[in-house]
Amino acid sequence: MDSPGKNEVIVQGLSASQGIAYGQVFVFIQSDVEVPNYQVDADKRIAEVGRFEKALVSTRQQISKIKGEVEKNLGPEEALIFDAHLLVLEDQALIGETIREFESTGRNIETCFDHVSSRYIQAFSEIDDEYLRERAGDIRDVAQRVLQNLLGQAENSLSRLADKRIIVANDVSPSDSANIDRSEALALVTDSGSRTSHAVIMARSMKVPAVVGVRDVTRRVKNGDWAIVDGYDGIIIINPSETTLFRYGKIQEQKKTFESLLLKANSQPAITLDGVAVSLMANIERVEELQMVKDYQAAGIGLYRTEYLYLNSARIPTEQEQFLTYKKVVEALAPNPVIIRSLDLGGDKPMAGNPSLFPKEDNPFMGCRAIRFCLVHTEIFKDQLRAILMASAYGKVQLMYPMISGEDELAKANAILEECKVELKQRSQPFDEKIEVGAMIEIPSAAATTDLLAKSCAFFSIGTNDLIQYLLAVDRVNDRIAHLYEPTHPAVLRTLKQIVDAAHKAGVPVSVCGEMAGDPVFVPLLLGLGVDGLSMSPAWLPSVKYLVRAMTMADAKALAAEAMTMTSPKEIYAKCDAFYRKRVSVE
């Protein structure tokens, strides 16, 4: 097992799917299709378009077959991933642009399709939102499959592993992950990827540990190397020593015991040891996530990111299409609340196929996005607001605006909302006339004027991801300065406290829906600062609920008070981590 003469190497990545695995490595290399480039004779151009259409049909059949196999082996929820792939094949903008480029250039259809799909992939790759950025992977996966069919090439596959193996790859496409031999895959490790990639979703479904973002791991290991994959702490240990193997055997036993405690706590109410109830809600992007929300017994949806509806299509969805989607979510969660965030689109989240709406910006994070985009494109905004209002007749809906910078923007948005209410009344369309309206606090100017915004808001939700980014002037997706992105920076804590105090003085509740809300290490700090509720990815709910039930609110307030007197972000984090570990058996 342990190779003599080889030193143990520990490589850090991001935890994506929990669990521990030990075994030999299989390095999976998937190269891009090499696309020929040539001129097509005029008398063969009709046949060339026919060849493209035939490849699209073949690709659709292949993906449908994969979807069926995934549904049989893993369940219908996991199979829904491939609906996005089928939608790519029906995207008339993508297909139409390919044919138009072919007609204008006369170059072979593979070249034209490669050019057009690459533009789409590039547009989605530049989106800041991690989940939506994964759409680039959908298009890339489908595009590679179409090109393989056009060129008559066989697809790469992970369906036949020689034996039980840890799969190590630069990245794993959704199709490749669907083909993984479940009986032989021990773990998944990738150079790139993210916690929200389809491969990771598959790994979680198969209960296979996964670590992503392990840079250059494909160059540091070779086939047959022995390794430990720690899906809890996000590390891969290459050539582990006997001592490390023994230690991880013990850790694995403890983790399994702890996971059973989490699941048990998940069925209990989120109440602290001193009797304080805490609202724990879920963040979602898609209707398909509703089952997870129910399984993990969230108190409702604290953040419904609606831009997925727009980014999953080359055209703006109609009012009716949006209404039917929102209605499905609202009815499924009733009587629990659903907070629907209005469109956070534009800037770093452009819609492929709509370049006129989304001109390129030098600094998209501070560009025409979210509420700014909506106040410019009022008809698009009104379609969405009417759809949200209509859905409010079917359950408890709350409306939230993103990226509000001050009172003037809030007043303009609310004025448009009132216009929509009048229009629906004229149609005799029912809706909740007392629908509660709130704002995301994610810009420093909003944090500094929370008292003014509170006059026109029924609730606030703090988007810590952007708030920290803007407060500290740190681009959180820039690897060179990622270490400066510190949630425990004193400036962040002071700002959070200022927001909560100003809101509570006005009688307005405050929740947190950013990444901090789903991290059990930060939860006591947030609650101690006075936050009323937390909203997170559904999978994090058991861990957070377990911690809430293992602590007192009095201790959380004492932790926050002490943290407010400290000056070092690292020391504050260490204090929070010690608080967490004292109450939760994770060792």
Tens place of pLDDT for every residue, the chain, 587 residues?
444 447 899 999 888 888 889 999 988 876 667 788 999 999 999 999 999 999 999 999 888 888 887 777 666 666 777 787 888 888 888 899 999 999 999 999 999 999 999 888 887 777 766 666 667 777 888 888 898 889 887 655 565 565 788 988 887 776 676 667 667 788 999 887 666 566 676 677 677 888 988 888 888 888 889 999 998 888 999 999 989 988 888 887 777 777 777 878 788 999 999 999 999 999 988 888 898 899 889 999 999 999 878 776 667 889 999 999 999 999 999 999 999 999 987 655 555 556 566 666 666 667 777 899 999 999 999 999 999 999 999 999 999 999 999 999 999 999 999 999 999 999 999 999 999 999 999 999 999 999 999 999 999 999 998 899 899 998 765 556 766 789 999 999 999 999 999 999 999 999 999 889 988 999 999 999 999 999 998 878 998 999 999 999 999 999 999 999 999 999 999 999 999 989 886 44
- 180-187 contacts, C-beta under 8 A, 24 or more apart: 180/206, 182/73, 182/206, 182/208, 185/158, 185/161, 186/21, 186/22, 186/23, 186/229, 187/19, 187/21, 187/23, 187/211, 187/229, 187/231
Q: 585 near 258, Cβ under 8 Å?
A: yes
| b/e sequence 181-213, b meaning 16+ C-beta within 10 Å | eeebbbbbbbbbbbbbbbbbbbbbbbebbbbbb
The residues, any chain, with a CB within 8 Å of residue 407's CB and separated by 6 or more, are: 449, 452, 453, 455, 456
Q: What's the pLDDT at 2?
A: 44
Residue 36 identity: P
* pLDDT number for residue 289: 84
Instruction: Please give the full DSSP string across 370-399, using - where no structure is assigned.
Output: THHHHHHSHHHHHHHHHHHHHHGGGS-EEE
β-strand partners of 534: 280, 512
pLDDT digits (tens, 9 = 90+) for 49-88: 999 999 999 999 888 888 887 777 666 666 777 787 888 8
Q: Where are the alpha helices (DSSP H) in 90-190?
A: 92-105, 109-125, 130-133, 135-151, 174-179
Which of 201, 217, 224, 206 shows the shortest CA–CA distance to 168? 217
Spatial distance between the Cα atoms of 584 and 539, rounded to a whole number of angstroms: 18
Tell me what pLDDT residue 264 has: 80
For the chain, percent of residues with pLDDT exceeding 70: 85
What is the predicted pLDDT for the residue at 587?
A: 45
Q: Quick one: tokens of 268? A: 């209990």
CA separation (Å) from 334 to 338, 393, 469? 8, 11, 35
Task: Check residue 175 and give its pLDDT.
Answer: 64
Mind listing the domains of the chain with CATH numbers?
9-30+157-250 (3.50.30.10), 42-151 (1.10.274.10), 267-583 (3.20.20.60)
pLDDT of residue 3: 46
The amino acid present at 257, given as its one-letter code, is T
Position 1 scores a pLDDT of: 42
**Each residue's pLDDT tens digit, 155-173:** 555 655 657 889 888 877 7
Tell me the per-residue pLDDT of 245-258, one tens digit each, with 9 for 90 and over.
Answer: 888 888 877 777 77
Question: What's the confidence (pLDDT) of residue 32?
Answer: 65
- Active-site residue numbers? 198, 513
Amino acid at 402: P
Give every CB contact of residue 266 below 8 A, 6+ residues apart in sequence.
296, 297, 541, 542, 545, 546
State how far the Cα of 532 lies from the Cα of 516, in Å rounded to an integer.
14
pLDDT for residue 299: 96
Q: Which residues pair with 339 in a beta bridge?
A: 398
Tokens 């991880």 map to which residue?
248
